[in-house]
Structure 1
Amino acid sequence: MSTPRFLTLPPGVRRTDIETSRGAFAALEAFPGSGISERGPALLIPGFTGSKEDFISVLQTLAGAGRRVITLDMRGQFETPGPDDASAYGCAELGADIAAVIESIGDPVHLVGHSFGGLVTRETVIGDPALVESFTLMSSGPAAITGGREVEGRVLLSALPKVGLEHLWSTRMEPEVLSKGVAPEIVAFLRRRMFMSSRSGLLGMANELLSCADRVDELAKATDGAGVPVLVLYGENDDAWEPQTQALMAERLGARKVVIPGAAHSPAVEAPETTASALTAFWNDAERT
């Protein structure tokens, strides 16, 4: 579960709604200080139990390089409503939502998917690589999640229908956050975000995260054929998909690889300046190419 460094929006960042053919999505939007975007837009997609606020620490820096930067809550996450049907939260449906958002933006984007968001956004890219200027998989993997995060997912999937979210939060989630010394105002935000998220969405996304098939070869074919540059970016201490697994995925994709020193599963939170610098350099290179 990510913990943004701060929740106050920095200058040049505003809350908005992105209207699309598949509904409205709560978003944060950042512009360069001049108000004029000189480079292609970027779209950042959060992971499971996450939200647009996970990128607050990098939005101002990314926009300062001369581009419009947008991040949003997927359907069922935090401030974007979603249907009361767990089957509506598969990667294919969520990926179609992201495609609709890009069509609403009106230009190809530099697309970033964090963790589960990477599994979602690769569906978007496989479906229509012309929608993207570049594609970044941030702390994501080739298929279903493994290790300790898999155990956590299976506990949630099994326990949520039986004991409810309040019990899970008070006995497992909140104690874990408090053990890391997270500030009280951040804990309050995380609780609010969790309880505003769709219960069906949590179940549907968890199931997808635990069962997602490997589509790396299909992604490589799509991006190679369309000439879309790909970046695999992750923290050196990632505790979701192992760093070695992500490195091998980068090789299969013929992708650039960036390892963020000192970061774990949320580089945009744990090392925002390094992460923003790596993304900006990759995006600028993609535009030059």
Structure 2
Amino acid sequence: MPPPAARAYPLRTARGDFAVVDHPAAPDAEQRGVALMLPGFTGSKEDFRLLHEPLAARGYRTVAVDGRGQYESDGPAEDESAYAQPELAKDVLAQAEALGGGPLHLFGHSLGGQIARAAVLLDHSPFVSLTLMSSGPAQISPPQQDRVKLLRDALAVMSMADVWVAMEAMGPPEDVGGPALGVGGRDHLRRRWMGNKPAQLIATGRQLCTEPDRVAELAALPLPFHVLSGAVDDTWPVPLLDEMAERLHARRSVVADAEHSPNVDQPLPTARAIAGFWDTVGR
């Protein structure tokens, strides 16, 4: 369930409808801006549930979105070309346009960070900053590539329901299915899994395993950057994220006692780090 002040609705854009959770800034806080938040692989807008209220208290409206073919946003079940990274980047630009109300802070977790990067490389003008949370410069680590390849191979020959059963047999649902961890219990995780389109998982899984290093292109943009992570990350090793931040001349935040999903592991310190960066932008 979204926080009490949040509203869940379909955001209507020129590229279709996208399911969002939209949380207003606290009415007694200085209204500081709006953020568009993109989840990771096998994730959803619910992954940011624990961040909305502390960011609202700092004066930020936050809009978390399910991407095309993710959970509650529709998309083709079998056409992988619909999920090519440039298409997903254009979706983000359409979402930004639909939100209106001036420039946005763009925030992406894991796969969502790489899609956010592709979006600003297409057109950075709608955005005043980019935060990459647990999202690295290029492809994911070899062990995670093996894990994602196993998932892609399974999806090619099995139904979503059968793959879920197989994942449960391998361990707790929170620990299987890709780099991104989720918020919620087993029923939510299964419902979310079943809402994903297989073609989206196959296509974006391939992207994670083949993504080139585009940090130099990104660094050339006139945007402030923030690289945020937990203290441990097995998807992109922390030293690699440190190096990326240096190449971007980015603000660097490391959340103690957190791993690949600091938004889940340590939401309050994560929210403080996010808002601390946003507070500096344009001031």
With normalisation by structure 2, the TM-score equals 0.92
Correspondence for 1:5:
none
Correspondence for 1:210:
209
Q: Please say if 1:43 is aligned against 2:43.
A: no
Residue 10 of structure 1, CA deviation: 1.9
1:97 to 63, 73, 91: 91
Structure 2 Cα separation of the partners of residues 143 and 19 of structure 1: 31
Correspondence for 2:26:
33
Structure 2 Cα separation of the partners of residues 11 and 94 of structure 1: 30
Q: Which runs of 4+ in 1 moved over 6 A?
A: none
2:163 to 157, 161, 168: 168
Correspondence for 1:83:
76
Deviations 1:155-198 (A, max 9, x none): 01112112333332212246422587x9xx71111111001111
Q: Counterparts in 2 of 1:62-211, with a 5 A limit?
A: 62-84=55-77, 85-106=79-100, 107-173=102-168, 175-177=170-172, 186-211=185-210
Correspondence for 1:239:
234
Q: CA RMSD for the aligned pairs?
A: 1.8
**Counterparts in 2 of 1:110 and 1:144: CA distance versus 1, 3 Å:** same
Structure 1 Cα separation of the partners of residues 89 and 168 of structure 2: 28
Structure 2, unaligned runs of 5 or more:
176-180
Give the AA of the match of 1:74. Answer: G
Moved more, 207-216 or 52-61: 207-216
Alpha carbons 2:26, 2:57 under 8 Å: kept:
yes
SS of 2:272's equivalent? helix
**Counterparts in 2 of 1:258 and 1:210: CA distance versus 1, 3 Å:** same
Structure 2 Cα separation of the partners of residues 52 and 174 of structure 1: 26
Residue 36 of structure 1, CA deviation: 8.0
Deviations 1:201-238 (A, max 9, x none): 1111111111111111111112xxx2x11000001111
How many aligned positions are there?
274
Structure 2 Cα separation of the partners of residues 274 and 284 of structure 1: 15
SS of 1:130's equivalent? coil
Structure 1 Cα separation of the partners of residues 169 and 282 of structure 2: 43
Residue 113 of structure 1, CA deviation: 0.6
Structure 2 Cα separation of the partners of residues 110 and 174 of structure 1: 40
Correspondence for 2:246:
251
Alpha carbons 1:47, 1:115 under 8 Å: kept:
yes
Alpha carbons 2:140, 2:208 under 8 Å: kept:
yes
Alpha carbons 1:31, 1:37 under 8 Å: kept:
no
SS of 2:136's equivalent? coil
Q: Please say if 1:9 is aligned against 2:8.
A: no
Structure 1 Cα separation of the partners of residues 94 and 186 of structure 2: 33
Q: Please say if 1:56 is aligned against 2:49.
A: yes
Structure 1 Cα separation of the partners of residues 142 and 282 of structure 2: 37
Q: Please say if 1:285 is aligned against 2:283.
A: no
**Counterparts in 2 of 1:174 and 1:103: CA distance versus 1, 3 Å:** farther
Give the AA of the match of 1:158. Answer: D
Identical counterparts, % of pairs: 39
1:23 to 3, 10, 16: 16
**Counterparts in 2 of 1:168 and 1:41: CA distance versus 1, 3 Å:** same
Residue 147 of structure 1, CA deviation: 3.1
Give the AA of the match of 1:10. Answer: P
Correspondence for 1:230:
225
Give the AA of the match of 2:114. Answer: L
SS of 1:12's equivalent? coil
* Larger fraction in helix: 1
Correspondence for 1:219:
218
Alpha carbons 2:23, 2:52 under 8 Å: kept:
yes
Alpha carbons 2:173, 2:189 under 8 Å: kept:
no
